Amino acid sequence: MASGRVRVRFAPSPTGYFHVGGARSALFNWLVAKQAGGDFVLRIEDTDAARNRQEWTDGIISALDWIGIIPGEYEGPIMQSSRADRHAAAAAELFAAGRAYYCDCTREDIVGRAGSEQAAARGYDGYCRDRGLTAGPGRALRFRTPDEGTTTVVDVIRGKPEFQNSTIEDFVIARGDGSAVFLLANVVDDLDQGITHVIRGEEHLPNTPKQQMLWEALGAPEPPVWAHVPVLVNEKRQKLSKRRDKVALESYREEGYLADAMKNYLMLLGWAPPGGEEIVPWSTIEETFRLEDVKPSPAFFDETKLRAFNGEYIRKLSPDEFVAACQPWLTGPTASPPWPPQRYDPAAFDRLARQADAQSRVFVLGEIVEMVDFLFLEEPVRDEAAWAKAMGKGPAAEVLADAIREFATVEWTAQALKATLTAIGERHGQKLGKAQAPVRVAVTGRTVGLPLFESLEVLGREETIRRLRAAADRLPVTT
Ligand code: GLU
């Protein structure tokens, strides 16, 4: 490009939740701009008025912010819809130069001439090419593609795919109402915005020869650097789909994935840091990422691996950071915890999280809620299956009765509580693991959770005994 300055763009269409694949493309673009000391432009391609919603645009901006693409550090957002006049002018220019022609064929006309839908799908037959139609209502504008030769796309990731021009139909660039279609609007904006590198999803590769023809026809001395990043697939090797797979970046954020873990994981979708380590600081990624090293083959979006990654990132937090990171799930307003807000006690949470080492047990921050809800709910959750499992067999009633009695006077520390329950278990022929079950279910409502004795210590003597009594009252009296 003339100035030599690298300018990339991320150009999402605001028609739904922000897709993890979009986030990955955005990060690749961001890094290329950053490494080159160039510019990143956010362009919202909002020309599909029927499907666009302001909230999707807001969602994109906020999701980008979450992964470190921060408003104020990039150009835009530029709304594509604000440039409709410019798109129309480009269409008129192509018509005036003889590079495009008007066409009044209906779909039925085209199918009729081709003989079948299937045959028509092979492309427009050029019927209106030389009819000399001028602009008019219902007349689409088609780009006149060459009949011979090839178009070579030079792609950093894919090499030099070649397209036979004879297979590229005279494609529509403006609709019957005069509005430009994606193919044209996208190129006009890239040209006007001085974009040097187009880094985007593989699904756009078939559009690229057409767009490259438009670049040339609109007077660009050379096409941009193209890079088509690999499609994301699920464990069945199917392309990730909104209906089948969890693809919204927002849902990962809400569940309690850390932005740093997410960013690191997204970068591995098609690329890997040199040296074999996958979990690396962002600064290493910033130094070592190379678009040339991105692999063209489909990238597996592995939720299980992402979860494990997130767990590792959570372990790396300091205890203070961990406690702070949990707060949105404990106090709202983003999440809505199951306890009344006034019952939440930050000091108790802090103590429990540290003493019971919650940080080593959580993979996704939202999981913390179930681990600590017993502390803030008036009554523990009622889970009949857990109840049946812990209370239905063995000497549950005897264990509870002994615990009620002995917990009344024991020193209230995890260690002493453990020793007491161990002795109670032995008395009734049970190992500690078994003897814990009725106590855990009585106090927390669940069969699994944070270490029990630390949990009791934080809950306190009075409330623990009250819950043990309530559970004992529910059990049939044994003789
Ligand atoms: N709006 C297009 C999309 O979201 C942009 C394609 C491109 O980056 O050129 O797929």
Instruction: Identify the CATH number of the domain defined by range 384-474.
Output: 1.10.10.350
The whole-number average pLDDT for the span 332-351 is: 91
What mean pLDDT is reported for the chain? 95
**249-315 under CATH 1.10.1160.10, yes or no:** yes
Ligand 1 pocket member 200 (CB < 6 A): yes
Q: How far apart are the first and last CA of the chain?
A: 90
Separation of alpha carbons 129 and 102, rounded Å: 8
Please give the pLDDT value at position 283.
97
Interior angle at CA 134, CA 129 and CA 135, nearest 5: 115
Measured from the Cα of 10, ligand 1's closest atom is: 8
- Mean pLDDT check: name the lowest of 62-71, 147-156, 434-443, 469-478: 469-478
Please give the pLDDT value at position 64.
97
| pLDDT reading at 319 higher than 60 | yes
Facing residues of 140 across strands? 103
Please give the pLDDT value at position 164.
96
Please give the pLDDT value at position 312.
98
Ligand 1 pocket member 224 (CB < 6 A): no
- Decide if 228 contacts 200 (C-beta within 8 A): yes
| pLDDT reading at 478 higher than 70 | no
Residues whose CB is less than 8 angstroms from the CB of residue 180 and which lie 6 or more positions away in sequence, other chains included: 47, 84, 87, 88, 90, 91, 173, 174, 188
Please state which CATH class domain 7-77+183-233 belongs to: alpha beta
pLDDT in tens, 166-188: 999 999 999 999 999 999 999 99
Instruction: Tell me the CA–centroid distance for residue 103 and ligand 1, in Å.
Output: 26
Please give the pLDDT value at position 4.
84
How sure is the predictor about 479, in pLDDT bands with cuts at 50, 70 and 90? Answer: very low
The whole-number average pLDDT for the span 391-418 is: 96
Residues whose CB is less than 8 angstroms from the CB of residue 82 and which lie 6 or more positions away in sequence, other chains included: none
**Superfamily designation of domain 86-174:** Glutamyl-tRNA Synthetase; Domain 3 (3.90.800.10)
Please give the pLDDT value at position 344.
96
Domains 86-174 and 384-474 share a fold: no
Please give the pLDDT value at position 477.
58
Ligand 1 pocket member 45 (CB < 6 A): yes
Measured from the Cα of 199, ligand 1's closest atom is: 8
DSSP state of 42: E
Measured from the Cα of 190, ligand 1's closest atom is: 9
Please, is 479 exposed, middle or buried when counting C-beta atoms within 10 Å of its C-beta (0-12, 13-18, 19+)?
Answer: exposed
Measured from the Cα of 45, ligand 1's closest atom is: 1
- Rg of the chain's alpha carbons, rounded to an integer? 31
| pLDDT reading at 86 higher than 80 | yes
Give the residue, out of 155, 183, 186, 211, with the most ligand 1 atoms within 8 A of its beta carbon, to mutate for a pocket test: 186
Report, in this order, helix, strand and coil percent for the chain, each rounded to 5.
50, 10, 40
Instruction: Tell me the CA–centroid distance for residue 22 and ligand 1, in Å.
Output: 9
The whole-number average pLDDT for the span 232-255 is: 92
- Decide if 418 contacts 453 (C-beta within 8 A): yes
Identify whether 242 is a catalytic site residue: yes
Which residue is closest in CA terms to ligand 1's atom 2? 12
Instruction: Tell me the CA–centroid distance for residue 292 and ligand 1, in Å.
Output: 21
How sure is the predictor about 2, in pLDDT bands with cuts at 50, 70 and 90? Answer: very low
Please give the pLDDT value at position 49.
75
212, 161, 163, 167: which is closest to 186 by C-alpha?
212
| pLDDT reading at 56 higher than 50 | yes
- Mean pLDDT check: name the lowest of 44-48, 180-184, 464-468: 44-48
Ligand 1 pocket member 204 (CB < 6 A): yes
Which residue is closest in CA terms to ligand 1's atom 10? 12
Instruction: Tell me the CA–centroid distance for residue 418 and ligand 1, in Å.
Output: 60
The whole-number average pLDDT for the span 26-30 is: 98
Measured from the Cα of 211, ligand 1's closest atom is: 9
What tokens were used for 158?
């894919």
Query: Taking the domains of the chain in order of start, what are their residue ranges?
Result: 7-77+183-233, 86-174, 249-315, 317-376, 384-474
| pLDDT reading at 403 higher than 50 | yes
Which residue is closest in CA terms to ligand 1's atom 5? 11
Ligand 1 pocket member 210 (CB < 6 A): no
pLDDT in tens, 281-311: 999 999 999 999 999 999 999 999 999 999 9
Please give the pLDDT value at position 16.
86
Separation of alpha carbons 185 and 48, rounded Å: 12
Instruction: Tell me the CA–centroid distance for residue 215 and ligand 1, in Å.
Output: 16
How sure is the predictor about 47, in pLDDT bands with cuts at 50, 70 and 90? Answer: confident
The whole-number average pLDDT for the span 319-339 is: 92
Please give the pLDDT value at position 148.
95
- Decide if 435 contacts 429 (C-beta within 8 A): no
Give the residue, out of 8, 13, 18, 27, with the most ligand 1 atoms within 8 A of its beta carbon, to mutate for a pocket test: 13
How sure is the predictor about 1, in pLDDT bands with cuts at 50, 70 and 90? Answer: very low
Facing residues of 101 across strands? 142
Q: How many helices (H) and strands (E) does the chain have?
A: 20, 12
157, 149, 159, 158: which is closest to 216 by C-alpha?
149
Measured from the Cα of 203, ligand 1's closest atom is: 10
Instruction: Tell me the CA–centroid distance for residue 12 and ligand 1, in Å.
Output: 5
Catalytic residue among 236, 242, 305, 393: 242
CB atoms within 10 A of CB 85: 8
Instruction: Tell me the CA–centroid distance for residue 201 and ligand 1, in Å.
Output: 8
Give the residue, out of 29, 45, 56, with the most ligand 1 atoms within 8 A of its beta carbon, to mutate for a pocket test: 45
Ligand 1 pocket member 44 (CB < 6 A): no
pLDDT in tens, 133-169: 999 999 999 999 999 999 999 999 999 999 999 999 9
